[in-house]
Amino acid sequence: MIAFDRFTDALDYPMYVVTAEADGERAGCLVGFGSQCSMRPVRFMVWLSELNRTCRVASRAGRLAVHLLRRDQEELALVFGGETGDRTDKFAQVAWRAGPGGVPVLDEAPAWFTGRVVERFPGHGDHVGFLLAPEEVHHPADGNFPFLPLSAAIGIPPGHPVD
C-alpha cells in the first residue's frame, strides 16, 4: 500500500493521550487515530491498539479521557507513547487527578474531555474503536494553541511493537 502511505504521510493530524480507569487499574497511551464523527448527537471515535494495555483497561471502562497536548509537550507524549504500562506506572511520572467516574485527567494537558463509552467496535485489523459521548470538556479560555501533531511525535519509539 505504498500509494496509501504517501497519502497518509501528507496528513499531520493531532496526537492525543487517552486515559482509562477500570476496577482501580489506570492506563494511558498516545493515540493518533481519533476524530469527531457525529455532530448530532456529538460523538468522538478513538482507536486503541489491541496490543496496548490501555485497550485492555478501556475495554472494561465506562469512560475515557482524551487529552490534547501542546506542541512543546514532547516529554509528556514520550511518557504515554514510548513507555508501556505493562512495565511502567506512567501516572507516577505525571501530575493527574481523578475525573468523572475516576478516569485519570492529566493536569498539564491544556485541553481535554471525558466521554462515556457508547459502543466498542472491533477494527477488523489491529485497533478497537471506542465511540464516546463527550461529558466534561476543558479548553483554554484564550482560544487555540499549537497542538502536538503527528510530525512532532513520529520519532517516539512505541512502547509496544506496531507490527
pLDDT tens digits, one per residue of 88-141: 899 999 999 999 999 999 999 999 999 999 999 987 789 999 999 999 999 887
- This model's pTM is above 0.85: yes
Residue 124 grid cell: 477488523
pLDDT of 1: 62
pLDDT of 154: 77
Integer Cα distance of 72 and 63 in angstroms: 27
- The one-character DSSP state at 38 is E
SS3 8: helix
Question: Among residues 17, 151, 128, which one has the least CA distance to residue 79?
Answer: 17
pLDDT of 64: 98
pLDDT of 161: 63
pLDDT tens digits, one per residue of 36-50: 999 999 999 999 999
Angle at 161 between CA 160 and CA 163, to 5 degrees: 145
pLDDT of 83: 81
The residues, any chain, with a CB within 8 Å of residue 67's CB and separated by 6 or more, are 16, 17, 18, 19, 105, 106, 109, 111, 112
